[in-house]
C-alpha cells in the first residue's frame, strides 16, 4: 500500500512538473518576443538557438503528453483515489 502511494506521488509530481515546465517556457518566450516587438527591435542572431531550443522543448513536452495521454488519465484516476483515502 505504501509503495503504491509513493508511486502515485511520484507520478503526480512528474505530471505537475511537466505542465509547469511547459507553462514557464511558453510564458518566457511569449514575454521575450512581445518585449522585442513592443520596443520595435529586431531579433539578435545569437538568440535564435535559444528560441529554437525553447520550441523543441515545448514540442517534446507536447509529444510526451499526447503519446501518454491514456496512461496519464489512468494515473490521475488512481491519484484521485489515493488522495481520497
pLDDT tens readout for residues 6-24: 777 787 788 888 888 889 9
Determine the Cα–Cα distance for residues 40 and 58; give it in Å rounded to an integer.
26
End-to-end CA distance of the chain, in Å?
11
The answer to whether residues 61 and 21 touch, using CB atoms and an 8 Å cutoff, is yes
Determine the Cα–Cα distance for residues 42 and 36; give it in Å rounded to an integer.
7
- pLDDT attached to residue 2: 53
Averaged pLDDT for residues 27-31: 92
Averaged pLDDT for residues 36-48: 90
Amino acid at each position: 500500500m505504501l509503495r503504491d502511494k509513493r508511486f502515485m506521488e511520484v507520478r503526480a509530481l512528474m505530471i505537475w512538473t511537466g505542465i509547469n515546465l511547459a507553462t514557464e517556457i511558453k510564458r518566457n518566450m511569449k514575454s521575450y518576443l512581445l518585449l522585442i516587438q513592443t520596443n520595435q527591435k529586431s531579433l539578435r542572431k545569437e538568440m535564435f538557438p535559444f528560441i529554437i531550443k525553447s520550441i523543441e522543448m515545448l514540442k517534446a513536452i507536447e509529444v510526451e503528453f499526447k503519446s501518454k495521454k491514456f496512461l496519464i488519465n489512468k494515473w490521475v484516476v488512481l491519484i484521485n483515489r489515493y488522495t481520497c483515502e
